[in-house]
Amino acid sequence: MPVGTLATVKSISQDLLEELGVQILLGNTYHLYLRPGVEQVRKLGGLHGFMAWPRAILTDSGGFQVFSLNELRKVTEEGVTFRSHLDGSSHFFSPESAMAAQIGLGADIIMAFDECTEFPAEGARLKASMELTLRWAERSKKYFDEHKNEVPWNRSTSGAKAPEQGEPNRSAEALRHSKAELNRSSGEMRTFGGIQDGPTQALFGIVQGGMDLALRKESAERTMEIGFPGYAIGGLSVGEPRGLTREVVESTVQHLPAEKPRYLMGVGTPEEIVEYANLGIDMMDCVLPTRAARHGLLFTSEGKISIKQARYAGDEGPLDPLCGCRVCERYSRAYLRHLYASNEVLAQVLNTIHNLSFYLDTMRAVRHSIALGRGARFLSEVWSRPKP
Ligand SMILES: [Zn+2]
């Protein structure tokens, strides 16, 4: 999942994302809550309508971002008080308000409010943090179950807000149509207890427990007892060594049900996403392809390239001879290097297109390899070969 923090995947337009084959992207609740505000997005049809993106969206709970504000937050049983990084104003997130915000934003998949434990942390601290996350998961689910029909694109329930006047835009219309298709059985909306039940979001639980494998197992089992349609492994990529990340993922994923989506939050390099897919992870998100692109770091089949280097100044070859993206088909390394060195906006656009294309191609290859029955292990071996 490419990351679209502020309802935009930086420096690339939605039509290009569609062309690249992006099926789902991620928005950050904390950022969208601060700007432009949940109510504003809700009134404009939720994130789908607002950003004209008819495909799937996932929002995080805001927990991770809030916990990144070390000096600016205070955690209690009730929730987290934090200061905005924009203007220093004081705000409060609880499991309930984080669910309300995510329902208002209207992504397809939303995340339980959790505490992302810092690294390193002592055993007692890890245990207490995991217990808090479990209590917050229950509160998240309870609030979600009571309010899930209030999602902006659910127009079928009497409890839901009536549609705004005026013609809805085509993307929102297409989205409602596809949602209805997904959730319709034999041409009728499902009906429970006389109340029309329209399509709702899917709320995923998050496994915590730091780097303690026993706590991770306990967190996985107790989160599954609460019951969610998908499970995420959170609390990684928080400064721990990469070998430790892999160890925790490999151990934790075994305790999560293979028939439900297993989502590893906030990873990784192309090599790592192949490795994690091989361990059984189904979903990942990372800012790396887009952020690295804006810094001139490009992922290719020949390894990572820093396009600003003078060695590319006269290089007429494509960025990646094995990549079929519109950038590699058209432009030379010399031109891309010139754009970057000249601080041209187009450098960010083209670099982002290529990096996202490379990541998406990698995941397509992973899916293909799995479909052929070879698993992602085959690709891991290809990746680990020495680069020319
Ligand atoms: Zn390319």
Please state which of the ranges 43-47, 72-76, 169-173 shows the lowest mean pLDDT.
Answer: 169-173
285 catalytic residue (yes or no): yes
| Cα–ligand 1 centroid distance for 14 (angstroms) | 18
Specify whether the CB–CB gap between 255 and 221 falls below 8 A: yes
172: confidence class by pLDDT, cuts 50, 70, 90 = low
The pLDDT confidence band at residue 68, using thresholds 50, 70 and 90, is confident
Tell me whether residue 114 is one of the annotated catalytic residues: no
Of 228, 66, 215, the C-alpha closest to 144 is 228
Torsion angles phi and psi, residue 127, rounded to 5: -65, -45
User: Of 4, 1, 54, whose CA–CA distance to 29 is shortest?
Assistant: 4
For the stretch 226-253, pLDDT in tens is 999 999 999 999 999 999 999 999 999 9
Confidence of residue 376 (pLDDT cuts 50, 70, 90): low
Instruction: Name the pairing type of β-strands 297-300 and 283-284.
Output: unpaired
pTM of the predicted protein model: 0.88
In the predicted structure, residue 156 carries a pLDDT above the cut 60: no
CB 137, CB 114: distance < 8 Å: yes
Whole-number Å distance, alpha carbon 351 to ligand 1 midpoint, is 8
Q: Which residue has the higher pLDDT, 171 or 302?
A: 302
Mean of pLDDT values over 133-146:
98
Question: Which helix (H) or strand (E) segment is 306 a member of?
Answer: strand 303-306
Q: How far does residue 175's CA lie from ligand 1's centre (Å)? A: 30
What angle do helix axes 377-384 and 270-279 make, rounded to 10 degrees? 150
Q: Measured in angstroms, how far is the CA atom of residue 107 from the centroid of ligand 1?
A: 29
Per-residue pLDDT at 165 exceeds 60: no
Is residue 2 within 8 A of residue 27, CB to CB? The reply is no
From ligand 1's centre to the CA of 26, what distance in Å? 22
The residue from 60, 108, 114, 320 that is catalytic is 60
Strands (E), 223-291: 231-233, 262-264, 283-284
* Amino acid letter, 371: A
